[in-house]
């Protein structure tokens, strides 16, 4: 089988540690990849004055797929987020973040199996901030019918493809009547379109504040959550907390022509370089990439390999999960677990 070209973006902070772990696990699952390494993030900005160099964008456009580590974005000033630019420049309009209880790591919140579908290109991330008078700043929230319809239809298509039963649109249309009202209207129309096509995915909606309360009290009532960009960002971290932390939650960014797979966590500067970052979220993101590349066998094999480790001795896990392991030793255990799984047809 010929190797698939995939762009490898190590990113900043713990990025190089967790992406390297994911790369090794993919190799153990017999996924033949020709990795094309490119710069991105704070390191790229410091090296060449651009957090998202043109060569990186060009390589992803050429390959169509990238595995990405987190990138650091300065707070309150400095360069524009490489993530936001990447998602906008490649029109990666859908951010899919499955939030599922990891076997052996059940929490007091019960069995969780949610999928967050987040609009990825607009909202308050449009970068339209202006100081209109000294001490007065406006930050413009952009919601368009085109993007809202696209992400809503994506959510229903995704739910149908993956055998999910319900989509819940999350909004604040009682306050942002026009912006969130438009988003909700597009979600309703996508639901009607799905039903008219014979689909069986049900639809409802919830205010974002009520959602947060309901997620921590009874997450089992939700299936696929459809959110605008900012709500999706915040609710993703909340949901990751429900299953045991940011080190466990993977993700993928999908556009019409490209897809970029990355964990939902950031560059974790507080633990960078210590060798203790949890690589599981990045490894599961790599599994999602395998599925996208037409290797559902590798997707399943990697997930089973991870589960074989998380079900076992907790000491091998990283400190965020109460273990004594390192990024590398946990990745080694997962590689062994993956190799022990029978290769699937
Ligand atoms: P963060 O996700 O990097 O860290 C939050 C907390 O979770 C920290 O205590 C960290 O140690 C812990 N954590 C995160 N991932 C972990 C892992 N794999 N294993 C163990 N512990 C883990 O969020 P924070 O601190 O708000 O952001 C740090 C930087 O990351 C910022 O510059 C931010 O802009 C950037 N960021 C980048 C993202 C991306 O590239 N997709 C996403 C989110 C933040």
- Write out pLDDT tens, residues 61-93: 999 999 999 999 999 888 889 999 999 999 999
* Residue 333 near residue 280 (C-beta atoms within 8 A): no
H, E, C per residue of 108-134: CCCCCEEEEEEECCCEHHHCCEEEEEC
pLDDT band at 344 (very low <50, low <70, confident <90, very high): confident
Which residue's C-alpha comes closest to atom 40 of ligand 1?
A: 70
Q: Is the pLDDT of residue 214 over 90?
A: yes
Evaluate: CB of 267 within 6 angstroms of ligand 1: yes
**Is 131 found in the same domain as 85?**
no
**Is 135 found in the same domain as 252?**
no
Is the pTM higher than 0.85?
yes
Q: Which of 183, 215, 242 is the last residue of a domain?
A: 242
Q: How far apart are CA 207 and CA 296, in angstroms?
A: 35
The fraction of the chain above a pLDDT of 70, given in percent, is 99
* Token duo for residue 139: 């930050």
Evaluate: CB of 262 within 6 angstroms of ligand 1: yes
Q: Which of 180, 214, 242 is the last residue of a domain?
A: 242
Q: How far apart are CA 241 and CA 233, in angstroms?
A: 13
pLDDT tens digits for range 280-307: 999 999 999 999 999 999 999 999 999 9
**Is 63 found in the same domain as 112?**
no
**5 CB neighbour count, 10 Å cutoff:** 14
Structural domain that includes position 194: 108-242
Q: How far apart are CA 175 and CA 32, in angstroms?
A: 50
* Token duo for residue 291: 């599925």
Look at 17-31, 66-80, 177-191, 318-332 and tell me which has the smallest mean pLDDT: 66-80
pLDDT band at 183 (very low <50, low <70, confident <90, very high): very high
Give 234 Cα–ligand 1 centroid separation in angstroms. Answer: 13
Question: What average pLDDT is seen over the chain?
Answer: 96
Q: Which residue has the tokens 């952009």?
A: 142
- The DSSP secondary-structure symbol of 70 reads -
Give 134 Cα–ligand 1 centroid separation in angstroms. Answer: 33
**Is 130 found in the same domain as 228?**
yes
**Is 299 found in the same domain as 200?**
no
Which CATH number covers residue 335? 3.40.718.10
**Is 237 found in the same domain as 257?**
no
Based on the residue annotation, tell me whether 172 is a catalytic residue of this protein: yes
Q: What is the pLDDT of residue 126?
A: 86
Q: What is the pLDDT of residue 40?
A: 97
Q: What is the pLDDT of residue 6?
A: 98
Q: What is the pLDDT of residue 342?
A: 84
Look at 33-42, 105-114, 139-148, 254-263 and tell me which has the smallest mean pLDDT: 105-114
Query: Taking residues 243-262, what's their average pLDDT?
Result: 97
Total number of domains in the chain: 2
Q: Which of 12, 38, 125, 332 is catalytic?
A: 125
**Is 91 found in the same domain as 157?**
no
* Token duo for residue 220: 């089992």
Q: How far apart are CA 258 and CA 174, in angstroms?
A: 35
pLDDT band at 1 (very low <50, low <70, confident <90, very high): low
Identify any residues that bridge with 259 across adjacent strands, giving them in sequence order: 65, 254
Q: Which of 242, 274, 292 is the last residue of a domain?
A: 242
Query: Taking residues 226-254, what's their average pLDDT?
Result: 97
Q: How far apart are CA 294 and CA 255, in angstroms?
A: 16
By residue count, the chain amounts to 345
**Is 340 found in the same domain as 224?**
no
Based on the residue annotation, tell me whether 324 is a catalytic residue of this protein: no
Q: Is the pLDDT of residue 343 over 90?
A: no
**Is 304 found in the same domain as 217?**
no
């Amino acid at each position: 089988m010929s190797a698939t070209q995939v762009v490898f973006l190590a990113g900043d902070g713990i990025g190089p540690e967790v992406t390297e772990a994911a790369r090794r696990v993919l190799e153990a699952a017999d996924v033949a990849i020709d990795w094309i390494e490119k710069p991105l993030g704070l390191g790229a900005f410091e090296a060449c004055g651009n957090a998202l160099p043109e060569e990186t964008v060009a390589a992803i456009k050429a390959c169509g797929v990238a595995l990405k580590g987190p990138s650091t974005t300065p707070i309150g000033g400095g360069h524009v987020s490489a993530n936001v630019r990447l998602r906008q420049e490649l029109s990666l309009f859908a951010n899919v973040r499955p939030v599922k209880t990891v076997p052996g790591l059940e929490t007091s919140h019960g069995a969780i199996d949610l999928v967050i579908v987040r609009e990825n290109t607009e909202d308050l991330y449009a970068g339209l901030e202006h100081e209109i008078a000294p001490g007065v700043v406006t930050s413009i929230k952009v919601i368009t019918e085109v993007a809202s319809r696209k992400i809503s239809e994506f959510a229903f298509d995704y739910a149908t493809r993956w055998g999910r039963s319900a989509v819940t649109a999350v909004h604040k249309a009682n306050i942002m009547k026009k912006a969130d009202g438009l988003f909700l209207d597009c979600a309703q129309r996508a639901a009607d379109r799905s039903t008219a096509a014979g689909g069986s995915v049900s639809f409802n909606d919830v205010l974002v504040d009520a959602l947060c309360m309901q997620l921590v009290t009874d997450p089992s009532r939700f299936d696929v959550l459809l959110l605008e960009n900012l709500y999706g960002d915040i609710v993703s971290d909340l949901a990751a907390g429900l299953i045991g932390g940011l080190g466990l939650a993977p993700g993928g960014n999908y556009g019409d022509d490209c897809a970029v797979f990355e964990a939902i966590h950031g560059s974790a500067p507080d633990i960078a370089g210590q060798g203790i970052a949890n690589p599981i979220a990045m490894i599961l993101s790599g599994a999602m990439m395998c599925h996208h590349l037409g290797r559902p066998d590798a997707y399943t094999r990697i997930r089973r390999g991870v589960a074989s480790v998380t079900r076992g001795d907790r000491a091998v896990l990283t400190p965020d999960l109460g273990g004594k392991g390192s990024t590398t030793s946990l990745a080694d255990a997962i590689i062994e677990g993956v190799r022990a799984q029978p290769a699937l047809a």
